[in-house]
Amino acid sequence: MTTTDLKGTDDAYVPLLDLRSGEDTALAARLDQAFRSSGFAIVTGHGIDDALVDRFHYALLCFFHLPSEVKAKYASARPGDFGWVNRSDVGGGGQPELCEVFTAGPWGEPGAPVEGMSEEARAMTVGTNKWPEEVSELRDAWLDYYEAAERPADLLLRLAASALGEPDEAFARHHRNPISPMIANWYPPQLVAPAPGQIRKGDHSDWGSLTLLWHDGTPGLQLLGGDGSWIPLNPPPGSLVINIGDLMARWTNDRWRATVHRVVNPDADYAARERVSIPWFGQPDYDALIEVLPSCVPAGEQPKYQPVLCGEWYSAKLRSVYKA
């Protein structure tokens, strides 16, 4: 496959949207266009405070720079659980990816709401966050950032509903008690050449409704174009990359695309530079019933997908990817 260049500018394929513009009708229309073509957009004016981002970024680096034997104390109990993972294989390429991750979320805190959750799900999630005692500031920074990310996520879900001619609450009402996890990806400097075929993050699509990705500006993210070419995405500093996941594609009867993407190895200019990204994965309430929206079914046709419970969908994805 070839590689096409895309700088993440104000382009119809991956548009640059200012959420503070107040032009909600125009924003909704451009979201619809973006999600039908690339499945991606870039947003500014998201309202997440720079000082909070800096505090969170610093705490993450403090954790990831710890010795591996220390981080191992906070390792996931099994693949897909909260905690630290060294060398994941999300892309399923059969080789460890050159990335470490740490996963946590509000539903991993003690006392998290459990309405609608199965007993198995409660045991797997509630109270299972693994906060490192060596970096005491990480927990507060993590949860503060998560809460801050919920605000633009809620606005984007409302704009997305408007884009389809649905009521504002069409998506948001299913995200009252979301099981959205958040992951920090740390890509260490590549001072030694990787093995053949080994990259930072393999080909994959996201699973849920809407992903908000903070990035540190280091290149590497690519999305798979409709013609089979890989498109480098270099968003401006301070922006968020947003994209839809498999569940949203199902929700919209494939009107919107859950696009495959990856993170490639750095070129020589960036080989000695670490990379951090923080995807906030929108995942609706555990007991949310996801049905194809009427506005996405052409007249005279039937929906492509049967209704599915979000929690069952998410659990099936975990089992499929991690063979749990």
pLDDT tens-digit series, residues 208-230:
999 999 999 999 999 999 899 99
Instruction: With a cut of 60, say whether residue 5 has pLDDT above it.
Output: no
For each of the domains in the chain, give its residue range(s) and CATH number, in order of start. 16-322 (2.60.120.330)
If you ran DSSP here, which 8-state letter would residue 268 be given?
T
If you ran DSSP here, which 8-state letter would residue 73 be given?
G
The C-alpha atoms of residue 160 and residue 168 are separated, in whole angstroms, by 8
- pLDDT value, residue 74: 96
* pLDDT tens per residue across span 136-174: 999 999 999 999 999 999 999 999 999 999 999 999 999
Instruction: With a cut of 70, say whether residue 8 has pLDDT above it.
Output: no
* pLDDT tens per residue across span 254-302: 999 999 999 999 999 999 999 999 999 999 988 899 999 999 999 999 9
The C-alpha atoms of residue 272 and residue 268 are separated, in whole angstroms, by 8
Residues 9/44, Cβ–Cβ less than 8 Å? no
Counts of helices then strands in the chain (DSSP H, E): 8, 14
- pLDDT value, residue 324: 47
3-class DSSP state for residue 242?
A: strand
Instruction: With a cut of 50, say whether residue 253 has pLDDT above it.
Output: yes
Query: Which of the four pLDDT bands, split at 50, 70 and 90, describes residue 9?
Result: very low
